[in-house]
């Protein structure tokens, strides 16, 4: 299977590049499934039903979220009903939505998407490792599931790497989100799981992690906040991770970073 994961979409710049590029990449890379992290899609904070619908129309199959899942309150009702939206699995019992979902692709393949949030320098949620374990124990890779993707939404690279190794051999891919800058450690772990600490964001990189530079700079240099954070509005880069799995085992055959548009060095995966 060929899957594209797109990192945190930040504001209009991120939305525009995703809406423009996902239909093209779906075709040129012969993708079976596209996952987008939408936690910052609505002006940097959360996501709305309208934005979700736009992503689905552009060819996105699943939207994952993160610590900004509930910034736009309207999404709670929508995510409770729509199975295509996944929020971290280790939120307290009774939180709206779901932490994992299973999908069938048009080619008849079964894919499990799990999202989990880290706890280091983040809100104190339930144990991310046992949360993921529960989901991985719902069925074996290569048997019940053709592809399993785990999104670890976390601040600490150590916690993300630990999650990668924890899932090694049991998931097709463990990808990181939340940091908004892509890391250069795309690899296949010894057990066959593809891993990258952070996918990076989809947004304007002439910014401070997607936000217009002015206010973050003021806060860093003067320690006084004078306005809210607003997304930077220059051309966006779609920043993501492409993973190809072995159809027999479900393990990863290939992982490649994808960077299209905007300021970042471009890396376009070629169809092979
Ligand atoms: Fe984010
Ligand atoms: Fe986040």
Tens of pLDDT along 79-103? 999 999 999 999 999 999 999 999 9
Q: Give the number of whichever ligand sits closest to the CA of residue 153.
A: 2
pLDDT of residue 272 exceeding 60, the answer is no
Task: Determine the pLDDT at residue 227.
Answer: 86
Task: Determine the pLDDT at residue 224.
Answer: 84
Alpha-carbon distance of 108 to 145, in angstroms, equals 11
State what percent of residues in the chain have pLDDT above 90: 96
| Catalytic residue from among 68, 153, 178, 180 | 68
Q: Structural domains in the chain?
A: 2-204+234-260 (3.60.21.10)
Mean pLDDT, the chain, rounded, equals 96
Confidence of residue 223 (pLDDT cuts 50, 70, 90): confident
CA of 111 to the centre of ligand 1 (A): 24
Confidence of residue 13 (pLDDT cuts 50, 70, 90): very high
pLDDT of residue 266 exceeding 80, the answer is yes
Confidence of residue 77 (pLDDT cuts 50, 70, 90): very high
Alpha-carbon distance of 15 to 261, in angstroms, equals 12
Task: Determine the pLDDT at residue 270.
Answer: 60
pLDDT of residue 196 exceeding 60, the answer is yes
CA of 101 to the centre of ligand 2 (A): 20
CA of 143 to the centre of ligand 1 (A): 33
Q: Tell me the torsion sign for CA atoms 141, 193, 100, 128.
A: positive
pLDDT of residue 271 exceeding 70, the answer is no
- Least Cα distance to 9 among 31, 57, 41, 34 occurs for 41
Confidence of residue 269 (pLDDT cuts 50, 70, 90): low
Q: Tell me the torsion sign for CA atoms 232, 31, 178, 80.
A: positive
Q: What residues are paired with 36 via a beta bridge?
A: 6, 63
∠ at Cα 25 (22, 27), nearest 5°? 115
Q: How many residues does the chain have?
A: 272
Alpha-carbon distance of 53 to 60, in angstroms, equals 9
Model confidence pLDDT, tens digit, residues 241-257: 999 999 999 999 999 99
Alpha-carbon distance of 252 to 172, in angstroms, equals 5
The answer to whether 22 and 35 are in contact (CB under 8 A) is no
Task: Determine the pLDDT at residue 176.
Answer: 98
Task: Determine the pLDDT at residue 225.
Answer: 84
Q: What share of the chain is helix, strand, coil (3-state, %, to 5)?
A: 25, 25, 50
List the structure tokens of 118.
């880290």
pLDDT of residue 8 exceeding 90, the answer is yes
Per-residue pLDDT, averaged over 9-33, amounts to 97
Q: Give the number of whichever ligand sits closest to the CA of residue 7.
A: 1
- Least Cα distance to 132 among 157, 110, 109, 160 occurs for 160
Catalytic residue status for 68? yes
Straight-line distance from the first to the last Cα atom of the chain, in angstroms, rounded to the nearest whole number: 13
pLDDT of residue 216 exceeding 90, the answer is yes
- Tokens 């040129």 belong to 28
The answer to whether 165 and 197 are in contact (CB under 8 A) is no
Per-residue pLDDT, averaged over 212-227, amounts to 91
Alpha-carbon distance of 170 to 191, in angstroms, equals 8
């Amino acid at each position: 299977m060929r899957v594209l994961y797109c990192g945190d979409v930040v504001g209009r710049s991120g939305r525009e590049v995703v809406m423009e590029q996902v239909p093209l990449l779906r075709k040129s890379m012969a993708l079976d499934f596209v996952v987008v992290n939408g936690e910052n899609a609505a002006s940097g904070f959360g996501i709305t039903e309208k934005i979700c619908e736009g992503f689905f129309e552009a060819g996105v199959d699943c939207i994952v979220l993160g610590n900004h899942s509930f910034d736009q309150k309207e999404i709670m009702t929508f995510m409770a009903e729509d199975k295509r939206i996944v929020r971290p699995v280790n939120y307290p019992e009774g939180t709206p939505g779901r932490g994992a979902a299973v999908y069938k692709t048009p080619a008849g393949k079964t894919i499990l998407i799990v999202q989990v949030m880290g706890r280091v320098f983040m809100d104190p949620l339930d144990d991310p490792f046992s949360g993921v374990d529960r989901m991985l124990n719902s069925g074996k890779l290569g048997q019940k599931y053709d592809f399993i993707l785990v999104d670890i939404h976390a601040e600490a690279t150590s916690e993300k790497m630990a999650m990668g190794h924890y899932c090694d051999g049991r998931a097709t891919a463990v990808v990181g989100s939340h940091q908004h800058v892509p890391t250069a450690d795309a690899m296949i772990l010894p057990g066959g799981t593809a891993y990258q600490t952070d996918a990076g964001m989809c947004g304007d990189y002439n910014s401070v992690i997607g936000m217009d530079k002015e206010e973050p700079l003021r806060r860093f240099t003067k320690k006084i906040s004078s306005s809210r954070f607003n997304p930077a509005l220059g051309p966006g880069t779609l920043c993501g991770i492409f993973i190809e799995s072995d159809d027999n085992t479900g393990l990863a055959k290939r992982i490649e970073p994808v960077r299209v548009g905007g300021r970042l060095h471009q890396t376009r995966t070629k169809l092979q």
